[in-house]
């Protein structure tokens, strides 16, 4: 698709065709008078045409308006202008770079950069958005002092002390910023502990079980684990449950360092001094402010005591670079079990530096000191609104967290840069007279790195309004971290995702994002779209389960709103470190900003479709079909309880509920087909008497498909995780496989093979699904 100049402007012009004179008799007039009359009439007709066109613009933008320099692809098939094409042509790589340069110009930790809050708010307002700054007061910690040291307990001689710092790269301002935080975990416990060291691979439940099988206990130990596979908070909770005194999390070069390629500044991968900061808030219990679970942390909110907060950890932890981790691994050599004897997967990339991975425990002791200061601190969300013209009470929300651990060129500055450009593009469309059918809300969250605090508090404060009026939430935590597009979403959003991805060109290729996404998906191991071939279906790109490790979590898991998370990933070798810089981004990831532009197109087109389509594109059949697949996965899990039998347990109630949901989805599809054939999507074929009937039917369809997600909520919440309400998707916890969990209500009895309890909870979940199925039938 051709693109106009970055400085092109949107122009409005009308070129009405002259009308042919009437063949009827008219009084005789002079030629001059006739010409004057015709000229006047033509002028009046032109004026009326302009006014009518402008009045019609908010409805469809189907006018003779165009974008200077835009090619024929900007035009709809009927000769008018497609608003999505106009939107795509507005987007500017130059402006995206300017935005990125601003956000990545310095460190902006949660609540610590009011200037960026004001800049974002002012930018939204300049684009014509109704803008406000919403402040909350959560319980946050800041680093005071840290220490990791190896010493001989017999002599008290210190054998090694970790530097806990990152090297500066000459010419890269982000790595030289004095405001970069030290090695630090947000919501980590204050403490000074000492114990023997044990290496536990990635620190998953399976890894800890493997240690137990070879006779290695974590009781009273300091545990050293690798980043990856599961969230740091899940690793820490697993270590605490196993009796550990503290935990160290390091970035192994096999995962994102020199074993993957050239390290920064010679390449994009993680250098040896890089520290991957993280949150260790127990978000699997509840995200957001620890002291106000389930309600907003406003200035005067009633708060728990910190000791009462169940999502705070009780043992200290720190992140390490692989340079600092190497002496610790060397101290384990020859002690315990050779990691390779457990599994080759336990051996990392430091073997090239002479490290032999052993489990320990070590004979030397490790001292882990983590001094932090906790206090109630203000954070600021920036919320901008574009009021809808037809159903303003319905809202589509797009959001990105603004805070970063350092400059955060990828996470989160790339997303913030794109969010500003979307605000500008929507503002330009408004200048043309466009307004969305539904209200669009743009949200710049604060304290996302601390456990999705800003978004969670906002959802908790507005829960009733959101459940009543929200259509969907589209999140972009990191817009660009590599060249591979990936998405996680509610099944209802799959069709829209595929449609939009097919409209956007994959940067530096002749194909679309959809085509590149499909190729990548089919190359991946596991449950890939290639398996669709065996079922006789055309393969589709893989959409991951909805992310509960992002700012989407409160929307789907607590409020029951369909979500999408999207972005370009791949070269994540600087994640949460000072090396996630503008220089690295422009040098190795996106030099010409075309990936940012593609992310803006994808994000913006999704928002436009959700806000402007007369009939929402939520796919109820996709939900029903995916549910069948989820039940199949569940039956494979439960089959492990009956290894020696040929008749394992079947979830017949769940399957019956799934069939009802599929049947109801077909009824919705029939209603949509009927509306389109009889009235048209926008009720344009309905006469005056039938117009109200058409609008009522369309409103019923949209209400049913957009609120389906809410009918998968259990008001009582998931057992032991009451903040989480969704019965299909739950958070990861240490005793389960990493990632979003299917059927979280069934997880506990499934682990213990408690059949009576499993049957009881299956009925509860099936009843909720049946109610959702019947809701789809209500007209």
Report the pLDDT value the prediction gives residue 639, as an integer from 0 to 100.
Answer: 85
pLDDT at res. 737: 83
Task: Give the pLDDT confidence score for residue 382 in this predicted structure.
Answer: 98
Q: What is the mean pLDDT of residues 565-593?
A: 95
Contact between 185 and 316 (Cβ < 8 Å): no
Q: Is there a domain that residue 588 lies in?
A: yes
Q: Edge-to-edge strands of the sheet including 484-489?
A: 130-136, 379-386, 438-445, 391-401, 470-475, 563-569, 484-489
Domain holding 532: CATH number?
A: 3.40.630.10
Q: Residues 402, 341: one domain?
A: no
Give how far Cα 737 sits from Cα of 649, 734, 757, Å: 21, 8, 21
Query: Above 80 in pLDDT, residue 208?
Result: yes
Residues 6+ apart with CB under 8 A from 348: 226, 252, 253, 254, 255, 355, 357
* pLDDT band (50, 70, 90) for residue 646: low
∠ CA(340), CA(362), CA(190), 5° rounding?
A: 110
Model confidence at 735, in pLDDT bands (50, 70, 90)? confident
What confidence tier does 174 reach under pLDDT thresholds 50, 70, 90?
Answer: very high
Same domain, 356 and 384: no
CATH code (residue 651): 1.20.930.40
Confidence of residue 68 (pLDDT cuts 50, 70, 90): very low
* Whole-number pLDDT of residue 536: 53
Q: Which residue has the tokens 């496989």?
A: 737
Q: 562, 584, 612 — which closes off a domain?
A: 612
Evaluate if residue 311 carries a pLDDT over 60.
Answer: yes
Cis peptide before 398 (omega within 30 of 0): no
Looking at the structure, tell me whether residues 148 and 114 fall in a common domain: no
Quick one: 573 and 681 in the same domain? no
- pLDDT band of residue 22 (cuts 50, 70, 90) is very low
| Of the candidates 90, 105, 191, the residue with the CA atom closest to the CA atom of residue 146 | 191
The pLDDT tens digits of the residues spanning 31-41 come to 444 454 445 45
Is 72 part of a structural domain of the chain? no
pLDDT tens for 271-307 read 999 999 999 999 999 999 999 999 999 999 999 999 9
Which tokens hold the place of 24? 């009827």
Between the two ends of the chain, the Cα-to-Cα distance in Å is 42
Structural domain includes residue 85: no
CB 206 within 8 A of CB 196: no
For residue 400, list its beta bridge partners. 444
Residue that finishes a domain, picked among 375, 400, 416: 375
Confidence band (pLDDT; 50, 70, 90) for 627? Answer: very high
**733 in any annotated domain:** yes
> Do 650 and 685 lie in a common domain?
yes
Do 434 and 540 lie in one domain? The reply is yes
Angle at 192 between CA 187 and CA 198, to 5 degrees: 90
- Does residue 326 lie in a domain region? yes
Domain, as residue range, for 37: 10-66
Which CATH number covers residue 297? 3.50.30.30
> Does the pLDDT value for residue 367 go beyond 60?
yes
Instruction: Give the pLDDT confidence score for residue 113 in this predicted structure.
Output: 87
Verify that 507 and 405 share a domain, yes or no: yes
| Pairwise pLDDT comparison (710 vs 690), residue with the higher score | 710
561 has pLDDT over 80: yes
Residue 204 and residue 106 in one domain: no
Query: What is the pLDDT, as a whole number, of residue 193?
Result: 98
CA distance linking residue 763 with residue 413, whole number of Å = 45
Residues 634 and 596 in one domain: no
- Kindly provide the residue ranges of all beta strands, DSSP E only, lying in 680-751, ordered along the sequence: 729-730, 741-742
pLDDT digits (tens, 9 = 90+) for 508-533: 999 999 999 999 999 885 444 444 44
pLDDT, position 525: 55
Q: Are residues 414 and 290 in the same domain?
A: no
Three-state SS annotation for 9-42: CEECCCCCCCCCCCCCCCCCCCHHHHHHHHHHHH
Q: Could you count the other beta carbons within 10 Å of the beta carbon of residue 220?
A: 13
**What total of structural domains would you count in the chain?**
4
Q: DSSP state, 514?
A: H
Q: Considering 577, 612, 647, which residue would you say is the last residue of a domain?
A: 612
β partners of residue 154: none
CB 480 within 8 A of CB 579: no
Report the b/e string of 552-581 with b at 16+ CB within 10 A.
bbbbbbbbbbbbbbbbbebbbbbbbbbbbb
- By the 10 Å C-beta count (0-12 exposed, 13-18 middle, 19+ buried), 309 is classed as buried
Question: With the CA atoms of 179, 184, 190 and 192 taken in that order, what torsion angle do they form, in degrees rounded to the nearest 10?
Answer: -110
Q: Is residue 317 part of a domain?
A: yes
Distance from chain centroid for Cα 363: 44
Torsion angle of the four alpha carbons 290, 293, 297, 302, in this order, in degrees rounded to the nearest 10 = -100
Question: Measured between alpha carbons, how far is 672 from 657 in angstroms, rounded to an integer?
Answer: 23
Average pLDDT for the chain: 89
E-strand stretches of 714-769? 729-730, 741-742
- Assess if residue 482 is contained within a domain: yes
User: What's the rounded Cα separation, in Å, for the pair 746 and 637?
Assistant: 11
Residues 186 and 312 in one domain: yes
What's the per-residue H, E or C state across 423-483?
Answer: HHHHHHHHHCCCCCCEEEEEEEECCCCCCCHHHHHHHHHCHHHHHHHEEEEEECCCCECCC
Indicate the DSSP class of residue 285.
T
Give the span between the Cα atoms of 422 and 427, in whole angstroms: 8
Examine the pLDDT at 316 and tell me if it is beyond 50: yes
340 and 346 Cβ atoms separated by less than 8 Å: yes
- What is the per-residue pLDDT across 674-706, written as a single tens digit (0 to 9) for each? 999 999 999 988 787 789 999 999 999 999 999
Q: Are residues 199 and 212 in the same domain?
A: yes
Has residue 438 been placed in a domain?
Answer: yes
């Amino acid at each position: 698709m051709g693109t106009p100049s970055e400085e092109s402007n949107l122009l409005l012009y009308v070129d009405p065709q002259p009308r042919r004179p009437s063949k009827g008799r008219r009084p005789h007039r002079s030629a001059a008078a006739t010409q004057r009359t015709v000229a006047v009439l033509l002028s009046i007709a032109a004026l009326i045409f302009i006014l009518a066109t402008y009045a019609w613009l908010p409805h469809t933008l189907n006018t003779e308006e165009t974008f200077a320099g835009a090619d024929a692809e900007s035009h709809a098939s009927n000769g008018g202008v497609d608003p999505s094409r106009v939107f795509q042509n507005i987007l500017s790589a130059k402006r995206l770079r300017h935005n990125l340069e601003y956000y990545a110009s310095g460190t902006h930790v949660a609540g610590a950069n009011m200037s960026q809050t004001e800049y974002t708010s002012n930018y939204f307002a300049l684009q014509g958005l109704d803008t406000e700054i919403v402040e909350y007061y959560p319980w946050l910690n800041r680093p005071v002092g840290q220490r990791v040291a190896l010493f001989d307990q017999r002599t008290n001689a210190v054998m090694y002390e970790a530097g806990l710092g990152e090297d500066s790269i000459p010419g890269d301002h982000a790595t030289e910023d004095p405001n970069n935080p030290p090695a630090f975990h947000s919501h980590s416990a204050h403490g000074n502990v000492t114990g023997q060291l044990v290496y536990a691979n990635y620190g998953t439940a399976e890894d800890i079980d493997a240690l137990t099988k070879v006779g290695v206990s974590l009781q009273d130990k300091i545990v050293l684990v690798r980043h990856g596979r599961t969230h740091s908070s899940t690793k820490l909770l697993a270590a605490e449950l196993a009796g550990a005194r503290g935990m160290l999390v390091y970035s192994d070069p096999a995962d994102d360092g020199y074993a993957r390629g050239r390290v920064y500044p010679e390449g994009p991968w993680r250098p040896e001094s890089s520290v991957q900061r993280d949150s260790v808030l127990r978000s699997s219990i509840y995200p957001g402010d620890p002291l106000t679970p389930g309600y907003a942390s406003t200035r005067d909110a009633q708060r728990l005591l910190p000791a009462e907060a169940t999502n705070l950890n009780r043992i200290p932890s720190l992140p390490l670079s692989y340079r600092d981790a190497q002496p610790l691994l060397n101290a384990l050599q020859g002690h315990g079990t050779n990691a390779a004897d457990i599994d080759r997967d336990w051996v990392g990339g430091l073997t090239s530096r002479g490290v032999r991975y052993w489990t320990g425990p070590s004979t030397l002791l490790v001292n882990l000191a983590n001094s932090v200061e906790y206090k109630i601190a203000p954070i600021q969300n920036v919320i901008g609104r574009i009021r809808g013209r037809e159903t303003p009470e319905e809202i589509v929300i797009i959001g990105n967290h603004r805070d970063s651990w350092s400059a955060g060129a990828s996470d989160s500055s790339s997303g913030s840069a794109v969010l500003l450009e979307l605000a500008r593009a929507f503002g330009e469309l408004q200048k043309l007279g466009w307004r969305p059918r539904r209200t669009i809300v743009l949200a710049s969250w604060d304290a996302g790195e601390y456990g999705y605090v800003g978004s969670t508090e906002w959802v908790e404060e507005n829960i009733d309004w959101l459940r009543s009026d929200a259509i969907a939430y589209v999140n972009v935590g990191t817009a660009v971290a590599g060249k591979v597009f990936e998405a996680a979403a509610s099944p209802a959003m799959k069709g829209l995702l595929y449609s939009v991805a097919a409209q956007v060109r994959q940067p530096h290729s002749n194909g679309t994002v959809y085509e590149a996404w499909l190729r990548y998906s089919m190359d991946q191991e596991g449950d890939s779209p290639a398996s669709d071939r065996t079922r006789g279906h055309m393969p589709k790109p893989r959409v991951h389960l909805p992310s509960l490790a992002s700012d989407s979590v409160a929307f789907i898991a607590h409020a029951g709103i369909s979500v999408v998370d999207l972005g370009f990933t791949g070269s994540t070798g600087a994640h949460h470190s000072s090396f996630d810089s503008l220089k690295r981004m422009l040098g190795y990831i996106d030099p010409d900003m075309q990936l940012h532009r593609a992310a803006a197109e994808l994000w913006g087109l999704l928002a436009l479709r959700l806000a402007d389509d007369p009939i929402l594109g939520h796919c109820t059949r996709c939900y029903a079909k995916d549910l069948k697949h989820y039940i199949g996965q569940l039956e494979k899990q439960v089959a492990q309880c009956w290894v020696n039998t040929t008749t394992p347990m079947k979830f017949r109630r769940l399957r019956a509920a799934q069939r009802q949901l599929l049947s109801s989805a077909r009824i919705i599809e029939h209603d949509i087909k009927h509306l389109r054939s009889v009235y048209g999507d926008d009720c344009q074929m309905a006469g005056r008497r039938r117009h109200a009937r058409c609008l009522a039917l369309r409103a019923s369809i949209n209400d049913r498909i957009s609120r389906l997600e809410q009918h998968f909520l259990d008001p009582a919440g998931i057992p032991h995780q009451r903040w989480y309400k969704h019965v299909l998707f739950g958070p990861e916890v240490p005793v389960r496989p990493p990632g979003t969990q299917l059927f979280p209500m069934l997880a506990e009895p499934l682990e213990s093979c408690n059949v009576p309890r499993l049957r009881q909870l299956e009925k509860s979940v099936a009843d909720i699904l049946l109610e959702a199925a019947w809701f789809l039938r209500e007209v």
